[in-house]
């Protein structure tokens, strides 16, 4: 049995058929452990780290970062018994043996070799990867500088220098078509930040820069070790400059860097954006949407939150108005169970559990993770679950499982200063509530016009399941809770 094992991109669930390689967390020659994260992959739902199926030594990496790979495609080769001695590698024209097939011409062009640290192609960025590792994106171009290879932690004792830049297998480079040497940059090339001239930026920051058309080479990072942060990219996109140590950098017009001569920008539709577009189109043209609005005085609710924050057992918890909106929705579902249901062709499936979705805007696009069985949680447990959900989404670590199985959704458009909206239903759900900004407005209270805290709710629902009466009663109950949450808790529970 061959000791060389090919690791295929695994099935990530929920019907996902492909993923984009965001960052390799290992290099050719590295010794890896079982279940060690080896690659970060972005699917249509989340960015996930994939662990190694075997322990051993990395022999070949078949696809560079930024490549979209179908599920079941080999992405890495691992020598599961590197201590057994060198491998006899057949020519690429010979019949392959064991578990490592002969690479195709296309795959050879995409193979990553073991480059010296600090090598980076113009426009590509290396940066700290999860777990303290340093991920380096390698591109190939004309050789301008030579770099000494520093010993790499966990590297094989006699890792070869890939003189012909072919597939490195078992300590020997396989014969491949000639590929130009990696291009190496230092500060004299106009690259700032990081160590050894490498531009440091995490994968989500690189994606944000790409989406906004910002050239990372022109930025001076304000993060640790000179790494470029999300704020640095956003400031550059807005025409601002980032404060840092003086470095000779060639100015770049970042505001128009991504536009061509025709003054048009073309953005690939993939990943989360592609899935969102497909889901919203399917929902909008399948379920007959109706939206109702209700403006509510939430002054008492805001005072209740202040009292809650002041309690000793809540001082370490982030308490926001969204917590009370979520609680209001969960209690209103108990009074109107049909709202928490799904249209299934010839039947309606009413669900006793509520997987409460919270729409979240992230660097990767709009995602809707959900709190599983949220109706069974106490107020404190619900607060902790919402905080964890939001922090996980912001860090780009939401798993596909966390975004599956939602039954009812809240979208908090108020955080953007918007009063309300007409949200589109997530596929399979019958209702979604838009929570608008809380503003101080003139309001008639006890017969007098006073300044009160006011918000507007927008409820979109599937008219095949929820008629106007049911939708109105549900929205009214949510509004009643927010008008006086303490009285509603006493009366409803």
Q: How far apart are the first and last CA of the chain?
A: 64
Q: Look up 336 and say whether it is catalytic.
A: no
- The set of residues, in sequence order, having a beta carbon less than 8 Å from that of 252 and lying 6+ positions away, is 215, 217, 218
- Are 212 and 233 in contact, with CB atoms under 8 Å apart? yes
Give the Cα separation of 133 and 154 in Å (integer).
12
Helix and strand totals (H; E) in the chain: 9, 22
Give the Cα separation of 474 and 463 in Å (integer).
14
Sign of CA dihedral 156, 29, 104, 41: positive
| DSSP string for residues in 395-439 | TT---GGGGSS--EEEE-GGGGT-----PPPPTT-SEEEEE---E
Of the candidates 331, 398, 302, 299, the residue with the CA atom closest to the CA atom of residue 358: 398
Crossing angle between the packed helical segments 321-335 and 468-483, to the nearest 10 degrees: 140
| Catalytic hit among 183, 336, 445, 463 | 463
Give the Cα separation of 368 and 272 in Å (integer).
11
Which residues are annotated as catalytic? 463
């Amino acid at each position: 049995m061959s000791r060389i094992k090919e690791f295929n991109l695994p099935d990530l669930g929920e019907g996902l058929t492909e993923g984009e390689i965001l960052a390799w967390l290992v290099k050719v020659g590295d010794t890896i452990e079982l279940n060690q994260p080896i690659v970060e992959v972005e699917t249509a739902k989340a960015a996930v780290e994939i662990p190694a199926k075997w322990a051993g030594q990395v022999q070949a990496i078949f696809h560079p970062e930024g490549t979209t790979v179908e599920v079941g495609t080999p992405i890495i080769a691992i020598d599961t018994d590197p201590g057994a001695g060198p491998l006899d590698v057949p020519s690429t024209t010979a019949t392959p043996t064991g578990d490592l097939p002969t690479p195709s011409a296309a795959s050879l062009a995409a193979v990553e070799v073991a480059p010296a640290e600090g090598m980076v192609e113009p426009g590509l960025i290396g940066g700290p990867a999860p777990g303290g590792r340093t991920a380096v994106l390698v591109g190939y171009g004309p050789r301008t500088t030579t770099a000494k290879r520093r010993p790499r932690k966990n590297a094989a004792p006699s890792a070869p220098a890939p003189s012909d830049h072919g597939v490195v297998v078992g300590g020997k480079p396989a014969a491949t078509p000639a590929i130009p040497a990696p291009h190496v940059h230092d500060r004299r090339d106009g690259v700032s930040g990081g160590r050894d001239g490498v531009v440091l930026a995490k994968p989500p920051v690189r994606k944000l820069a790409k989406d906004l058309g910002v050239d990372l080479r022109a930025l001076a990072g304000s993060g640790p070790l000179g790494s470029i942060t999300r704020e640095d990219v956003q400031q550059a996109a807005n025409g601002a400059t980032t404060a840092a140590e003086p470095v000779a950098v060639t100015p770049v017009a970042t505001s128009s860097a991504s536009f061509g001569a025709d003054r048009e920008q073309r953005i690939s539709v993939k990943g989360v954006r592609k899935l969102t577009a497909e889901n919203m189109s399917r929902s909008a043209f399948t379920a007959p949407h109706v939206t109702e609005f209700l403006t509510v005085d939430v002054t008492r609710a805001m005072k209740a939150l202040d009292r809650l924050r002041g309690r000793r057992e809540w001082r370490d918890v982030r308490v926001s108005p969204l917590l009370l909106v979520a609680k209001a929705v969960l209690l209103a579902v108990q009074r109107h169970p049909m709202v928490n249901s799904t249209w299934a062709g010839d039947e309606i499936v009413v669900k006793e559990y509520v997987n409460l979705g919270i729409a979240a805007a992230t660097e990767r696009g709009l995602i809707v993770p959900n709190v599983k069985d949220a109706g069974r949680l106490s107020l404190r447990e619900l607060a902790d679950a919402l905080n964890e959900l939001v922090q996980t989404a912001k860090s780009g670590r939401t798993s596909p499982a966390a975004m599956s199985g939602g039954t009812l959704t809240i979208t908090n458009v108020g955080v953007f200063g918007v009063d309300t909206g007409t949200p589109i239903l997530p596929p399979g759900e019958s209702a979604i509530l838009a929570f608008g900004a809380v503003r101080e407005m003139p309001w008639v209270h006890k017969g007098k016009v006073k300044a009160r805290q006011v918000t507007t709710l927008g409820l979109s629902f599937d008219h095949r399941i929820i008629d106007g009466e049911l939708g109105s009663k549900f929205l009214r109950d949510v509004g009643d809770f927010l008008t006086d949450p303490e009285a509603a808790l006493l009366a409803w529970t």
